[in-house]
Chains A and B, each alone.
Chain A
Amino acid sequence: MGSDVITMPKPEWIPNKGSGARFLAYSYALSGKEGSALTSSEDKVKSGSGLTGLMEELKKTKLDV
C-alpha cells in the first residue's frame, strides 16, 4: 500500500522564466549604479526579456508539486 505512494513521486513543474531581471540587477549593482537598478530593471525587463506575469505563469503551472 505504502509503496505506491513512495514509488509515484509527483513531478515538479519548472516554468521557463526570464533571467533578465536578476542579470540586470547585478549589472547595475556591479557597475556602481545600484540605486537605479531595481526600478529600471522592473520596467525594462518585463517588457523586453520575456519575464511573464501571472497569466502566463498560471497557464504554465501544471503538475507542479
Chain B
Amino acid sequence: MRKEGKIMDFEAFKNELMELVTQELDNRSIENISLKFNTINSPDGMTDRLIATVGDSKMSMAFRLKEIFTDYENGVDMDRCVDRICNTIKENISVIETKEGDVKAFITDYDQVKNYTFFRLVPGDSPVLKEAPHRKIQDMALVVSVHLVNFSDENGKSVVVVTKPLMEMYGVDENQLFADAEKNSVAKEPIVFTPLVDMIKNLIENDEIPSPEDVGIVTYIATNKTGFHGAAVAAYPEFLDQAAETVGGSFFMLPSSVHEFILIKDDGRQKAKDLNKMIRNVNETVLEPRDFLSNQCYHYDAKTKVLETGVKYDKDKEKKAGAR
C-alpha cells in the first residue's frame, strides 16, 4: 500500500520502492529482471543498493538507495523515482546483454587495461582496501582503478578498482601496477591548479559571492585535467613542490572531495582545528557521501618538504614556540 501524505523511514521507503518498481516493470512488460537488496563495499563505504539483474548476467544495475531516499525526503515524488528507475533499467538491458562480454574481455586482459589504469585516492578506512593493493597517504589511501571507456560518457565514468586477485591474474606485481598507473595519470590527467575565486566565477554569475581573496587568503583548487578523481594528483611525484610554487610557499591541503583538494597558503593565520571544523561541516552538509575523502586538513612545509596532518603541524609549532 502506498503511504500517501507522510514521509516514510528508510526501511519502509526501500521496501515500497522495490514493490512499486516490480509492479511497474510488470506493467511495462519488461521481463527477466530480478531485483534484490544488497550492501556493497564501495570506495566511499558500505552502501545500500537496489540491484537489478538481467537474466543470469554477472553484471547488474545497482541503484544507491540512500541517495534516492535523500531526494525523496527532499520532496521528489515516489512515482517519479520508480519511473526513472524503470527507465534506466529498460535503457540498460541491451547494454548489459551486448557489452558484458566486451567488458569481461577488456578488464581481464592487462595488455588492454594497462593504458587505462589511474591513481585514485580513497578514505583510509574504505572497505575496498581489504582487497585492493594500496599505499597509505596520511589517513587516505591510494588505489589503482581501471577506466572503462566503453561504459563511460559525458554523464560519468565506469571504473573498477584493481583488487589483489585481479592484479595476480594480470601477472604484474604491485610496483608494476602502480608504476603503470602513475605513468597514465601523469600523462593523461596532469595536475591543474585553479584559483578558487576563478572557479567560483565560472560556476556562478554573481559578483556578490564572497571570496577568500577578499580577506587576503590565497586559495587554489588542485585537481587533474578532467576533474575526475582529481584528488589523486596529491600522489604525483612533483605535486607538492609544484603546489608550493603555485601557492607561493607552505600550504594547507583541504580534502574537499575525492575529486580535488583546496590549497590554502599558510600565512600564519590558519589553525588546523578551525580548518578541520570547516571541512567536517562542509562534508556533513554539502558533500555527496560518495565523494568523501577525509575530515582533516594536511600541511606541507615548503622548506623542510614535510607533509603531515594539520593538527600535528600545529602541535609541533606550539611546542617550538613554547620552548623559546
Give the interface of A toward B (CB within 8 A). 4-34, 38, 41, 44-45, 48-49, 53-55, 57-65
Contact = CB atoms under 8 A, between A and B. Distances in A.
B320 interface: no
B95 A12 contact: no
Given A11-B103, A13-B157, A23-B200, 8 more contacts: A6-B166, A11-B148, A16-B228, A22-B256, A22-B286, A24-B209, A28-B209, A57-B68
Nearest to A21: B286
Nearest to B69: A54
Interface residues of B, number: 81
B96 interface: yes
Contacts of B212: 27, 30-31
B245 interface: no
A12 B108 CA distance: 16
A23 B61 contact: no
Contacts of B80: 54-55
Contacts of A27: 196-197, 200, 209-212
B287 interface: yes
Nearest to B200: A27
B287 A22 contact: yes
User: Looking at chain A's contact residues, is the secondary structure mostly helix, strand, loop, or mixed?
Assistant: helix
B287 to A, nearest CB: 6
A6 B17 CA distance: 31
Contacts of A26: 196, 219, 254, 256, 262, 278, 282
A63 B286 contact: no
A7 B165 contact: yes
Given A24-B209, A26-B282, A16 B148 contact: no
A4 B286 contact: no
Interface string B204-235: 11100111101101010100000111000000
Interface of B: 40, 42-43, 49, 51, 58-64, 67-68, 71-72, 76, 80-81, 84-85, 87-88, 91-92, 95-96, 103-104, 107-108, 148, 151, 154-161, 163, 165-166, 169, 196-197, 199-200, 203-206, 209-212, 214-215, 217, 219, 221, 227-229, 254, 256-257, 259-260, 262, 264, 278, 281-282, 285-288, 290-291
Contact of B62 (A15, A53, A57, A63): A63
Nearest to B257: A22
Contacts of B104: 7-8
Interface centre among B64, B92, B206, B282 (most CB of A within 10 A): B282
A45 to B, nearest CB: 7
A23 B197 CA distance: 9
Given A27-B209, A45-B203, A59 B64 contact: no
A25 B285 contact: yes
B156 A54 contact: no
B282 A53 contact: no
Interface centre among B43, B103, B161 (most CB of A within 10 A): B103
B169 A7 contact: yes
B295 to A, nearest CB: 14
Nearest to B223: A19
B155 A64 contact: no
